[in-house]
Structure 1
Amino acid sequence: MLRRVLSAIVCGLLFGAGLVASDMINPARVRAFLDVAGNWDPSLAFVMGGALITSTLAYIIRNRWQTPLFDDQFHVPPRTKPDARLVAGAALFGAGWGLVGFCPGPAIAALTTGRWQAGLFVGAMLAGMIIYRFAYARPALASR
């Protein structure tokens, strides 16, 4: 259990440091990436490419190993095909990301900058999670 928690903390800190180093905590950079008709900034594509390489390697490892190093089992979503909830959630995520330039990971990392916008976003995100948990979550989620 302790190894699992410590590995999660290390991974989170590494992820946050990568977001800060690549300036992905800057909403203006994200909006510039999404502005393909204007002053387009391709740097986010390189960050996404790096994440894709890392994820691909993780899936290769998952297919070769019986269990992960710091847990009893791999936690992979059981569904392999998108459904209406996934598509709707992705659309809402994309719309919010495009409007304000934050998504959850970079917003949490941006809290270290003291920007009030990051605090407002994270507060709204937490409120949305709480509302979802109590209003829309399936009973199976509550038993986890």
Structure 2
Amino acid sequence: MEHPLLLVGNSNGSLELNQAALETLRAFDLPMVVVAVSGPTRSGKSYLLNRLAGSRTGFSLGHTVQSHTKGIWMWCLAHPQKTDQHLLLLDCEGIGDPEKGDEQNDNSIMALAVLLCSLFVYNSKDIIQQTSLRDLQEKSVL
């Protein structure tokens, strides 16, 4: 894929699968290693994934204090070490956006990301706080 595509849209708290992205995934014939990155809003998730992809561009980066990524975006690339696999990167909407204020929506996106991935990364700006660990535990029980 040349650029990321929206996999799961988030419209008014309702998650919807993007059929065009699903068709794109079906075109890949090799197994995929799926890496999902989630974490607090504005914590550098998209930037981290662009770095993992070896790109300065790709996942859209916000340049304000407002959250930028909505839903779950995907980018399928050649695996950097295994020629018989693809690497699917998932960029998740940030948790705890004060403008959105919908904890159930945050829970749904994170739960979906965990179910879809082979490797889940919780990205944070600073050290992981006790409240973050408690939130992760509560979300994983859903």
Relative to the length of structure 1, the TM-score reads 0.26
Compare the two structures and name the one with the higher strand fraction: 2
Relative to the length of structure 2, the TM-score reads 0.26
Q: Larger radius of gyration, structure 1 or 2?
A: 1
